[in-house]
Structure 1
Amino acid sequence: MARCLVIGANGFLGSRVVDGLAAAGHDVTGFDRYSAGIRAFETADAVAVTGDFLSPSDVAAAVADAEYVFHFLSTTTPASADRAPTVDLRTNVSATVELLSLCAEAGVRRVFFASSGGAIYGPQPRRVFAEDAPLLPISPYGIGKLTIERYLDYYATTAGLDSVALRISNPYGPRATTSKGQGIIPITLDRIRRGEPAVQVGDGSMVRDYLHVDDLVSRIMRMVERAPRHRAYNLGSGRGHSVAEVLAAVRDVVGYDFDVLRVPQPATFVDHVVLDVSRFRAEYGPDRDLTLTEGIADTWTRMTTP
């Protein structure tokens, strides 16, 4: 079993990765600020290390004994990066380059980086994207993710640091943080639970690839157990659903209609992104993923059950 460090262990995805690694028998350390004094992960077997991602000394101490590092921390969202691109550069990009340098110095065996399965491809005539598709991001968030992927290549070439970019689609499920304004499914369910109208970005035709977090973590655990052969993988369902279809599925799950507040679609949002996941399936086998309705039902049940 490996010594694993999860950066961003108190976040939606990071906390689930902590639990998945611990369940698989790995020695897990979770690095985060834990500013509210609460651990989002459930396992008692993980060691929580409090630190600031923007502090090189904190990060250096955390990576010193790690074999695998899972970088699942982001200081911005697509919307906040749009509002303040320089913040994304100074924090996400710059701090991640520092992290990679420290990993190389510490002799880390492999870095798993949570990249983007949508923003990194950008607007193109094609609607389904394989890993070898052109990378043409137009949003600061996507540009930042691509820049970090290029630094993964740099440290692999110059320092022999093995890494893999996980181009994750639109993950959703229990523990998703709604306060940052990211994730239509958890945000919609949370607003409905509080009696507020759902928010529809654009005219409802925008298409994304949605993947339940349990299915995502299952994929990542398989990549830990058997070393990946490629430098980047699309991790999605391989199916697309429009915003209107998501809201219809939510209506089916909750069993009643709700008001919808329509807001303009930001200029940097891509209209249609579905991930070609054949690379992952060819290497790791097929998946039995939850359908969109099954995943939304699971999320709703776990949100509303005390």
Structure 2
Amino acid sequence: MKCLVVGGNGFIGSHLVDGLSRAGHDVSAFDRFRTPPTFNTRGVRVLQGDFFNRSDLADATDGQEVVLHFLSTSDPARSEDDPTLDVRTNLTQSLELLEASARAGVRQFVYASTGGAIYGPQADVFFDEDMMTRPISPYGIGKEAVEGYLRYFALKYGMDTVSLRISNPYGPRQRPEKTQGLIPIALNRISRGDPVVRFGDGTMVRDYLWIEDLIDVIVRVAGSTHLHSVYNVGSGIGHSVNDVLAVLRSVTGIDFEIESQPPPATFVEHVVLRNTRLRDEFGLPDFTTLEDGVRLLWNGLAPAPR
């Protein structure tokens, strides 16, 4: 297939470019490319453009069969500081991208939604796709709004739209200087000898997913004949922040200090994604354990012994 990865030089996007290329697809990567491409595959069509430029989006989607939207102009922390940011950037430009895709005759549109923020605080700890969404953060509310427009474009234009509610992916190429991603941020601070920041008392539970497991899922979904328009993409296993910190100590062998900070008011205490729908339809193998994934990442980050 001819596949366009929007955000192709980002953390997930660059791995997705490599994964789609390995699967034999004709891949184009759209991004600003202010830094050299981080994906490893040669022969990928590099489309340097501006997500805020309608003409650039039209040029990028022209002739594509599948568009995979993995570009975000914000993260939970930035959206918290500026609640209008997602509306002014992610929401409006996602609509522009959807319109460009519809005009170009794109067959399938795959969207990177959120599996944590979109469900919000509820009595349940485990969430499946049929449960009500109750986002309380600007980031989650923005993702839910885009999902609504996906349904609209599917009905109006007959475009196959798929929303992937992704848990907490981690792995190489994740930028630790950003505010999203406990594991890479913590490992980077450990490697520098700095204390690790922990929000709250460490009982907050999340679902962590090794990046290559996520890419395997997306590659299977892209272009497929599927039964649903929404899929949870997570490990299905919950780990508290304190669990993660214990794994980091075990893997690194470093007894790092912890700096506790109050959690933002919109943080959800417990989110673990049920992935039964995904496994039933796509027959996925077992996912990488948290300890194995952290070890793989740390071995790539740790300085060579002197």
Tell me the TM-score normalized by structure 1.
0.97
- Kindly state the Cα deviation for residue 286 of structure 1 after the two structures are TM-superposed: 3.8
Give 3-state SS (helix, strand or coil) of 1:209's partner.
strand
Give 3-state SS (helix, strand or coil) of 1:180's partner.
coil
Q: Which residue of 2 aligns with 1:11?
A: 10
Q: Deviations over 1:2-58 (max 9, x none)?
A: 00000001100000000000111110000000112x111111121111001011111
Give 3-state SS (helix, strand or coil) of 2:68's partner.
strand
Q: Deviations over 1:135-177 (max 9, x none)?
A: 1000000000000000000001111111100000000011111
Q: Which residue of 2 aligns with 1:287?
A: 285
Q: Given the alignment of the two structures, is residue 199 of structure 1 paired with residue 184 of structure 2, yes or no?
A: no
Q: Does 273-282 or 224-233 show the bigger shift?
A: 224-233
Give 3-state SS (helix, strand or coil) of 1:102's partner.
helix
| Alignment RMSD | 1.0
Gaps of 5+ in 2: none
Alignment partner of 1:272 out of 265, 270, 273: 270
Q: Does 244-253 or 193-202 show the bigger shift?
A: 193-202
Structure 1 residue identity aligned to 2:23: A
Q: Given the alignment of the two structures, is residue 96 of structure 1 paired with residue 88 of structure 2, yes or no?
A: no
Structure 2 residue identity aligned to 1:3: K
Q: Which residue of 2 aligns with 1:32?
A: 31
Q: Deviations over 1:238-276 (max 9, x none)?
A: 000000000000000001210111111100010000001
How far, CA to CA, are the matches of 1:264 and 1:203 in structure 2? 9
Q: What is the correspondence of 1:128-277 to structure 2 with a 5 Å cutoff?
A: 128-224=126-222, 226-277=224-275
Structure 2 residue identity aligned to 1:154: Y
How far, CA to CA, are the matches of 1:178 and 1:54 in structure 2? 26
Gaps of 5+ in 1: none
Q: Which residue of 2 aligns with 1:23?
A: 22
Q: Which residue of 1 aligns with 2:112?
A: 114
Mapped contact 2:108–2:223 kept (Cα < 8 A): no
How far, CA to CA, are the matches of 1:160 and 1:286 in structure 2? 28
- Kindly state the Cα deviation for residue 281 of structure 1 after the two structures are TM-superposed: 0.6
Give 3-state SS (helix, strand or coil) of 1:227's partner.
coil
Structure 1 residue identity aligned to 2:145: T
Q: Classify 1:161/1:88 alpha carbon distance in 2 versus 1 (closer, same or farther; 3 Å).
A: same
Give 3-state SS (helix, strand or coil) of 2:165's partner.
strand
Percent identity reads: 51
How far, CA to CA, are the matches of 1:115 and 1:128 in structure 2? 17
How far, CA to CA, are the matches of 2:90 and 2:51 in structure 1? 9
How far, CA to CA, are the matches of 1:155 and 1:289 in structure 2? 33
How far, CA to CA, are the matches of 2:173 and 2:209 in structure 1? 14
Q: Deviations over 1:186-210 (max 9, x none)?
A: 0000111111111111110000000
Aligned pair count reads 304
Structure 2 residue identity aligned to 1:107: G
- Kindly state the Cα deviation for residue 225 of structure 1 after the two structures are TM-superposed: 5.7
Q: Classify 1:197/1:135 alpha carbon distance in 2 versus 1 (closer, same or farther; 3 Å).
A: same
